[in-house]
Amino acid sequence: MVKYLQILLNARLAKMDERGATAVEYGLLVALIAMLIIGAVFLLGGNLSDLFNGAADEVANPDGA
């Protein structure tokens, strides 16, 4: 009986370790995605500004109006 409980406890502890590892992996993915977004904004900042300004002008003054 004690051996069975020890096996269950070890299985539960292993599962908890996986949860912690998964959280760390997700955190690293979020950090990587954030770095990619920041890099894209710095590299394409001027072009993005022109693109959004053009879109805003089209919304404010559509061709059909």
What is the C-alpha separation between 31 and 25, in angstroms, rounded?
A: 10
What is the pTM for the complete model shown?
A: 0.49
What is the C-alpha separation between 36 and 28, in angstroms, rounded?
A: 12
pLDDT by residue for the chain (65 residues), tens only, comes to 777 777 777 777 776 666 667 788 899 999 999 999 999 888 888 888 888 899 999 999 887 55
Whether residue 51 is contained in a domain is answered as yes
Whether residue 43 is contained in a domain is answered as yes
What is the C-alpha separation between 37 and 18, in angstroms, rounded?
A: 29
Say what the pLDDT of residue 37 is: 92
Structural domains of the chain, count: 1
Say what the pLDDT of residue 24 is: 84
* Domain housing 35: 23-58
3-class DSSP string for the chain = CHHHHHHHHHHHHHHHHHHHHHHHHHHHHHHHHHHHHHHHHHHHHHHHHHHHHHHHHHHHCCCCC
Whether residue 65 is contained in a domain is answered as no
Whether residue 63 is contained in a domain is answered as no
